[in-house]
Protein backbone atom coordinates (compact mmCIF):
# COMPACT_ATOMS: atom_id res chain seq x y z
CA UNK A 1 0.00 0.00 0.00
CA UNK A 2 2.86 2.40 0.78
CA UNK A 3 4.52 2.17 -2.66
CA UNK A 4 1.19 2.57 -4.41
CA UNK A 5 0.20 5.59 -2.33
CA UNK A 6 3.60 7.28 -2.71
CA UNK A 7 3.55 7.03 -6.50
CA UNK A 8 -0.13 7.43 -7.33
CA UNK A 9 -0.71 10.81 -9.04
CA UNK A 10 -4.43 10.89 -8.21
CA UNK A 11 -3.61 11.16 -4.50
CA UNK A 12 -1.47 14.26 -5.12
CA UNK A 13 -4.12 15.92 -7.24
CA UNK A 14 -6.86 15.09 -4.75
CA UNK A 15 -4.84 16.59 -1.88
CA UNK A 16 -4.24 19.68 -4.02
CA UNK A 17 -7.98 20.02 -4.66
CA UNK A 18 -8.63 19.82 -0.89
CA UNK A 19 -6.04 22.55 -0.31
CA UNK A 20 -7.62 24.65 -3.08
CA UNK A 21 -10.99 24.35 -1.31
CA UNK A 22 -9.48 25.30 2.06
CA UNK A 23 -7.82 28.32 0.44
CA UNK A 24 -11.05 29.44 -1.22
CA UNK A 25 -12.89 29.25 2.11
CA UNK A 26 -10.16 31.28 3.85
CA UNK A 27 -10.28 33.91 1.11
CA UNK A 28 -14.06 34.28 1.37
CA UNK A 29 -13.82 34.82 5.15
CA UNK A 30 -11.42 37.71 4.64
CA UNK A 31 -8.67 38.89 6.94
CA UNK A 32 -9.00 37.52 10.47
CA UNK A 33 -7.32 40.64 11.86
CA UNK A 34 -9.21 43.50 10.20
CA UNK A 35 -11.80 41.89 7.90
CA UNK A 36 -10.08 43.24 4.80
CA UNK A 37 -9.93 41.69 1.34
CA UNK A 38 -7.35 38.94 0.88
CA UNK A 39 -5.13 38.75 -2.19
CA UNK A 40 -3.15 35.72 -3.28
CA UNK A 41 0.39 35.59 -1.91
CA UNK A 42 1.24 31.98 -2.70
CA UNK A 43 4.79 30.90 -2.18
CA UNK A 44 6.76 27.99 -3.59
CA UNK A 45 7.51 24.88 -1.57
CA UNK A 46 10.13 22.38 -2.63
CA UNK A 47 8.99 19.19 -0.95
CA UNK A 48 11.35 16.27 -0.92
CA UNK A 49 10.21 12.83 -1.90
CA UNK A 50 11.91 11.81 -5.11
CA UNK A 51 11.09 12.30 -8.76
CA UNK A 52 8.58 9.43 -8.92
CA UNK A 53 6.57 10.67 -5.95
CA UNK A 54 6.32 14.34 -6.86
CA UNK A 55 6.73 14.50 -10.62
CA UNK A 56 4.29 17.06 -11.98
CA UNK A 57 2.85 17.86 -8.55
CA UNK A 58 2.17 21.53 -7.89
CA UNK A 59 4.29 22.80 -5.03
CA UNK A 60 2.79 26.20 -4.36
CA UNK A 61 1.56 26.80 -0.80
CA UNK A 62 -1.67 28.78 -0.61
CA UNK A 63 -1.35 31.99 1.33
CA UNK A 64 -2.97 35.43 1.29
CA UNK A 65 -2.05 38.99 2.12
CA UNK A 66 -4.60 41.50 3.43
CA UNK A 67 -5.18 44.54 1.25
CA UNK A 68 -5.67 46.77 4.32
CA UNK A 69 -3.38 45.66 7.13
CA UNK A 70 -0.89 43.67 4.98
CA UNK A 71 -0.94 40.69 7.38
CA UNK A 72 -0.50 37.21 5.99
CA UNK A 73 -3.19 34.53 6.24
CA UNK A 74 -2.12 30.98 5.49
CA UNK A 75 -4.97 28.47 5.46
CA UNK A 76 -4.54 24.93 6.82
CA UNK A 77 -3.23 22.31 4.43
CA UNK A 78 -3.53 18.56 3.92
CA UNK A 79 -0.41 18.51 1.73
CA UNK A 80 2.01 20.22 4.10
CA UNK A 81 2.40 19.60 7.83
CA UNK A 82 3.78 22.96 8.85
CA UNK A 83 7.29 23.71 7.67
CA UNK A 84 8.37 20.10 7.14
CA UNK A 85 10.13 19.49 3.84
CA UNK A 86 8.41 16.16 3.13
CA UNK A 87 4.71 16.10 2.25
CA UNK A 88 2.43 15.13 5.12
CA UNK A 89 1.32 11.82 3.67
CA UNK A 90 4.94 10.65 3.29
CA UNK A 91 5.62 11.49 6.93
CA UNK A 92 2.47 9.64 8.02
CA UNK A 93 3.07 6.53 5.91
CA UNK A 94 6.73 6.10 6.69
CA UNK A 95 6.25 6.83 10.38
CA UNK A 96 3.49 4.21 10.50
CA UNK A 97 5.81 1.40 9.43
CA UNK A 98 5.81 -1.15 12.21
CA UNK A 99 8.46 -3.44 10.73
CA UNK A 100 11.14 -1.23 12.24
CA UNK A 101 13.90 0.72 10.66
CA UNK A 102 16.12 -1.98 9.18
CA UNK A 103 19.24 -1.31 7.10
CA UNK A 104 17.75 -2.72 3.86
CA UNK A 105 14.58 -0.68 4.33
CA UNK A 106 16.52 2.53 5.00
CA UNK A 107 18.65 1.92 1.90
CA UNK A 108 15.52 1.39 -0.21
CA UNK A 109 13.78 4.50 1.15
CA UNK A 110 16.88 6.61 0.71
CA UNK A 111 17.21 5.52 -2.92
CA UNK A 112 13.51 5.97 -3.68
CA UNK A 113 12.63 9.23 -1.89
CA UNK A 114 15.74 10.44 -0.05
CA UNK A 115 14.61 9.66 3.52
CA UNK A 116 17.44 8.84 5.93
CA UNK A 117 17.37 6.73 9.09
CA UNK A 118 17.80 9.88 11.17
CA UNK A 119 14.76 11.49 9.52
CA UNK A 120 12.63 8.40 10.17
CA UNK A 121 13.71 8.34 13.80
CA UNK A 122 12.96 12.06 14.16
CA UNK A 123 9.46 11.53 12.74
CA UNK A 124 8.75 8.64 15.10
CA UNK A 125 9.97 10.79 18.00
CA UNK A 126 7.68 13.62 16.89
CA UNK A 127 4.61 11.35 16.91
CA UNK A 128 5.35 9.75 20.26
CA UNK A 129 6.86 12.65 22.21
CA UNK A 130 5.72 15.94 20.66
CA UNK A 131 2.40 15.33 18.88
CA UNK A 132 0.82 13.89 22.05
CA UNK A 133 1.40 17.24 23.78
CA UNK A 134 -0.22 19.38 21.07
CA UNK A 135 -3.50 21.17 21.79
CA UNK A 136 -5.08 19.21 18.94
CA UNK A 137 -4.24 15.83 20.47
CA UNK A 138 -5.16 16.89 24.01
CA UNK A 139 -8.54 18.04 22.71
CA UNK A 140 -9.28 15.09 20.37
CA UNK A 141 -7.81 12.07 22.16
CA UNK A 142 -10.95 11.58 24.28
CA UNK A 143 -13.00 11.05 21.11
CA UNK A 144 -11.24 7.74 20.47
CA UNK A 145 -12.52 4.79 22.45
CA UNK A 146 -10.78 2.59 23.28
CA UNK A 147 -7.85 4.95 23.73
CA UNK A 148 -5.18 5.24 21.06
CA UNK A 149 -1.93 3.37 21.70
CA UNK A 150 0.56 6.24 21.79
CA UNK A 151 3.52 3.88 21.33
CA UNK A 152 2.09 2.84 17.94
CA UNK A 153 1.37 6.34 16.57
CA UNK A 154 0.62 7.18 13.79
CA UNK A 155 -0.48 3.66 12.76
CA UNK A 156 -2.81 3.32 15.74
CA UNK A 157 -4.49 6.60 14.74
CA UNK A 158 -4.60 5.74 11.03
CA UNK A 159 -6.35 2.45 11.84
CA UNK A 160 -9.21 4.37 13.53
CA UNK A 161 -10.24 5.90 10.23
CA UNK A 162 -12.01 2.80 8.96
CA UNK A 163 -14.04 4.05 6.02
CA UNK A 164 -12.68 3.40 2.55
CA UNK A 165 -9.40 2.05 1.28
CA UNK A 166 -5.87 2.89 2.45
CA UNK A 167 -5.67 6.14 0.51
CA UNK A 168 -9.00 7.31 1.91
CA UNK A 169 -7.82 6.63 5.46
CA UNK A 170 -4.64 8.63 4.81
CA UNK A 171 -6.74 11.56 3.58
CA UNK A 172 -8.94 11.33 6.70
CA UNK A 173 -5.86 11.40 8.92
CA UNK A 174 -4.38 14.35 7.01
CA UNK A 175 -7.67 16.23 7.42
CA UNK A 176 -7.56 15.41 11.13
CA UNK A 177 -4.03 16.89 11.31
CA UNK A 178 -4.92 20.01 9.28
CA UNK A 179 -5.17 22.36 12.27
CA UNK A 180 -1.49 21.84 13.11
CA UNK A 181 -0.38 22.63 9.55
CA UNK A 182 -0.29 26.34 10.40
CA UNK A 183 1.01 28.15 13.50
CA UNK A 184 -1.87 28.94 15.84
CA UNK A 185 -4.18 26.82 13.70
CA UNK A 186 -5.79 25.09 16.65
CA UNK A 187 -7.42 27.06 19.41
CA UNK A 188 -8.89 25.09 22.32
CA UNK A 189 -11.59 27.71 22.81
CA UNK A 190 -12.82 27.48 19.24
CA UNK A 191 -12.30 23.75 18.70
CA UNK A 192 -10.97 23.45 15.18
pLDDT band at 77 (very low <50, low <70, confident <90, very high): very high
Domain total in the chain: 1
Residue 95 counted as domain residue = yes
Residue 188 counted as domain residue = no
The sign of the CA dihedral 31, 36, 41, 42 is: positive
pLDDT digits (tens, 9 = 90+) for 130-170: 999 999 999 999 999 999 999 999 999 999 998 778 888 99
pLDDT band at 192 (very low <50, low <70, confident <90, very high): very low
C-alpha distances in Å from residue 31, one per residue of 6, 71, 184: 35, 8, 15
Residue 192 counted as domain residue = no
Residue 64 counted as domain residue = yes
Name the residue range of residue 12's domain: 2-181
Residue 98 counted as domain residue = yes
Average pLDDT, the chain: 84
For 23-46, what is the mean pLDDT? Answer: 93
pTM for the full predicted model: 0.82
Residue 191 counted as domain residue = no
* Residue 1, pLDDT above cutoff 50: no
Residue 28 counted as domain residue = yes
Residue 80 counted as domain residue = yes
Amino acid sequence: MTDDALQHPKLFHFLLSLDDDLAARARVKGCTFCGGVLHSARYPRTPRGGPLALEGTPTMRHSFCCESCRRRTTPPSVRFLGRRVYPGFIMVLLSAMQSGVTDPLVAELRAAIGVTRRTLQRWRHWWREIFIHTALWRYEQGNFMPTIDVAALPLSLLERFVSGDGRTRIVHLLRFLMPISVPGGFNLHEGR
